[in-house]
Amino acid sequence: MSEKTLFQQIADREIPADIVFEDEMCIAFRDINPVAPTHILIVPLKPVPTLNDLEAEDEMLMGHLFLVARKIAEDEGLENGYRTVINCGKEGGQEVYHIHLHLLGGRQMVWPPG
């Protein structure tokens, strides 16, 4: 059995995904179960499980994810705005324990989120 996370397997092309961006620090692909017209996951290649597992050395990496989100939002034509989300742990609604930033757009978001 592979010990890689699902998202590492996507990054290694072992599981197919609709990849929209990739660089030396992260990969971004369309969510398989989109909840908005644009729903993209931006995932660091480093398999940090949750936000609680981040270390001081990951500070730049996490900032990078947001700059990539901004770039992809522009590419996707989300000029009217968008939402970024990181779910953390069970009550945060996290399903895949490889930290990722959701980029959601293309419809009006509501608050509070579910």
Q: Applying CB under 6 A, which of residues 46, 47, 76, 94 lies at the interface with ligand AMP? A: 94
Active site (catalytic) residues: 100
What's 43's DSSP letter?
Answer: E
d(CA 94, CA 74) in angstroms, rounded, equals 26
* Sign of CA pseudo-dihedral 33, 31, 110, 106: negative
- Asked if 32 interacts with ligand AMP (CB under 6 A), we say yes
Contact with ligand AMP (CB under 6 A) among 25, 67, 96, 109: 96
1, 3, 33, 79: residue in contact with ligand AMP (rule CB under 6 A): 33
The verdict on 95 binding ligand AMP (CB under 6 A) reads: yes
Among 77, 54, 66, 57, smallest CA distance to 101 is for 66
Q: Name the minimum Å distance from CB 97 to ligand AMP.
A: 7
N-to-C CA span, the chain: 34
Q: Which residues bind ligand AMP (CB under 6 A)?
A: 6, 15, 17, 29, 31-33, 41, 87, 93-96
